[in-house]
Amino acid sequence: MNARENPTTEPGVQSISIQPMNKAQSQGATAPDAQAPLRAALLGNPNCGKTALFNLLTGARQKVANYAGVTVERKEGWLTTPAKRRVRLLDLPGTYSLHAHSEDERITRDIVSGLHSREAPPELLICVTDATHLRLNLRLVLEARALGLPMVLVLNMSDMARRQGIVVNREKLSQALGMPVVESVGVRLDGGKELLAWLDTDAARQLTAPSREGQWQPKAGLGAKEQLLSLHQQVAEIMRVAVQEPQVDTQRDDRIDSVVLHPVWGTLLLLVTLFLIFQAVFSWAEPLMEGIEGGVAHFGEWVGNVMPEGVLRSLLVDGVIAGTGAVLVFLPQILILFFFILVLEDSGYLPRAAFLLDRIMGTVGLSGRSFIPLLSSFACAVPGIMATRSISSWRDRLLTIMIAPLMTCSARLPVYALLIGAFIPEQTVGGLFNLQGLVLFALYIGGIVSAMAVAWVAKLARENKTRTPLMMELPAYRWPSVRSLMLGLFERALIFLRRVGGIILTVSIVLWFLASYPGAPEGVTEGAIRYSFAGQIGRWLEVVLAPIGFNWQIAIALVPGMAAREVAVGALGTVYALSASSDDAMAQQLGPLIAHSWSLATALSLLVWFVFAPQCISTLAIVKRETNGWRYPLIMTSYMFGLAYLCSFITYRVAVALGAG
């Protein structure tokens, strides 16, 4: 069995004494109203197939939200048994133990133990186990059994266990645990029929707590290690009585792991894999993104043609429709990115990549799980921040979220291309490298180095410098389930549109108003934005931004550029009263003009500004959603603007001193 465990409790992490429910609680939990839907919850280890079984049982009848007061996702769905019994099913976050180490695990612990003040304990606990790794999974089952809730054990992946020659005596296992035992195969259409049939039995309708005779119970006065040893002894005894395990042939997985986990070849393989993902996010998404942009543009043009000119038309076309398009254009990247993440996770590779990189990332206070979200942030920080949900430690997840926007996302490229093309000569260095390409590469490296530096400083600043232990199971390699992948992508699309769309749409309308009102006086030849609220804000900002070389035109471009960084190209064109059919054409006209109007020092300062400044409302919006409040978006905004101003100031002053002013 490939597994990594750390039996000790992390310092500062809360744990609980597992106590059975009192008589009143037990009666309330075991005597549900016959007419009311049954409230059941799925409990299990990560990678046991619990979510696949949840998707199989509930299908599209799911609702995804957050638990109240926290950022952990709450997945709830409905199922109907063959006898038409309605069951409200909650998919609890995966955990190895009820002694919590992460926010996800604390939610699971609080729900099943009755500590969650906003939610009653489930009437039935469905413990999902991986039948091929039953020894590891039974530890959680025994901890949950001590709570006194009605339970049923599900042996998931039972077909794979049989192929491996594992024989589980279900009758003896049921007697040893004091609860019913059923089988399931979460990736097959009929894989949940035995569980559904059991839910219609009299035993499932007259729920009773597991028999307490001979059960393992936490012993008072014992330390964490002694309790864990006692628990493992109980698991070993149950395995001896009820399970026959052959000499498992792990040669295939071992041969693959000899390459995948090799410090040299494994790292090279990971880099190639990540490079292919990185390329796919760009190349595959581009046609879809262009299609969405074109569709939104045509729809906006059609609305503009059928509506009379006026404030309402401007609001709908320039505010609502344009704002919606700004959100939808990210969707292809979201889906492509999460497709690869789900494939790598379901195949068993992603935990190995995190394990391989854990030591390297640990030098700056991160864990191996941070690498994938940071890499995906090169396409867009929004899916990168959403991908941090795979990080179990809240501290590591928060740090990854806070540095993800420092990765050079694709939205910066139009600005980089404009400024580099206008100010950096097209010449070779050393006869091999293009100078413009080297500058662009340096901007990417600057983002990576600054992110690692911020993580290292955060590591030095925190009181508890102990590394969060990376405890994970290395599952067997397997082919991903197509149905599970499709449901996962559908779920991510809904989450993205619901959580980000409303905020972005609101901000886009506000920015439209700032850039449109008050209108320009009659007869003026300058851009109307100069006389708008945005123009006035630009004049005010010029006082603050002048020390880093920015004029009022740049300040104005930064205001609508808060919606998305690439908007700055069009905003600069408006400021200089240019007209073009596309941003690319506008940039071709704008480049020579700004090269004549600005100094090289100003251009370099602006490039550095875009490396650090948080000019992306969608990123701040998703950080607000993922951290459940405005505290961390405000901290992120403050430190990134401060870093941008400091680095731009240094760049501008050094460039001026060297004669580039």
d(CA 481, CA 486): 9
Q: How many CA atoms lie within 13 A of 330 on its CB side?
A: 33
Give the mean pLDDT of 628-645.
Answer: 92
Q: What residue spans define the domains of the chain?
A: 23-244, 250-283+330-407, 503-657
Mean pLDDT of the region 607-626: 86
Question: To the nearest 10°, the Cα dihedral for 612, 616, 617, 622?
Answer: -80
Q: Is the dihedral of CA 83, 84, 90, 94 positive or negative?
A: positive
> Which range, 126-140, 313-327, 398-412, 642-656, is most confident?
642-656
> How far is Cα 100 from Cα 110, in angstroms, rounded to an integer?
9
Radius of gyration of the chain (CA): 29
pLDDT at 35: 65
Distance CA 167, CA 245 (A): 7
pLDDT tops 90 at residue 166: no
- Please give the mean pLDDT across all residues of the chain: 77
The lowest-confidence range among 42-51, 380-389, 390-399, 563-572 is: 563-572
What is the distance between the alpha carbons of residues 283 and 289, in angstroms, rounded to a whole number? 10
Architecture of the domain spanning 23-244 = 3-Layer(aba) Sandwich (3.40)
What is the rounded CA–CA span in Å between residue 73 and residue 390?
A: 12
Residues 124-133 have a mean pLDDT of: 92
Structure tokens at 19: 């106590």
d(CA 210, CA 143): 12
Mean pLDDT, residues 553-568 taken together? 74
- pLDDT of residue 649 exceeding 80, the answer is yes
pTM value surpassing 0.85: no
DSSP 539-583: HHHHHHHGGGT--HHHHHHHTGGGT-TTHHHHHHHHHTT---SSH
- pLDDT (0 to 100) of residue 55: 87
**pLDDT-derived band of residue 547, with 50, 70 and 90 as boundaries?**
very high
Q: Kindly tell me if the per-residue pLDDT of 24 is higher than 60.
A: no
- Torsion angle (degrees, nearest 10) of CA 641, 646, 648, 654: 180
Residue 503 has pLDDT above 60, yes or no: no
The 10s digit of each residue's pLDDT in 201-246 is: 988 888 777 765 555 555 555 566 677 777 888 888 999 989 987 7
Q: Give residue 581's pLDDT band: very low, low, confident or very high (50, 70, 90).
A: very low
pLDDT at 294: 79
pLDDT class for 608, splitting at 50, 70, 90?
A: very high
Q: Which residues contact 249 (CB under 8 A, 6 or more apart)?
A: 164
Tokens of 76: 């709830």
SS3 assignment, position 153: strand
**45-54, 448-457, 491-500: least confident range:** 491-500
Q: What is the pLDDT of residues 373-415, one digit of tens each?
A: 887 787 678 878 887 876 767 788 889 999 999 988 867 877 8
Closest C-alpha to 120, from 129, 128, 130, 111: 111
Higher pLDDT, 320 or 123: 123
Compute the distance between CA of residue 92 and CA of residue 76 in angstroms, rounded to an integer: 9
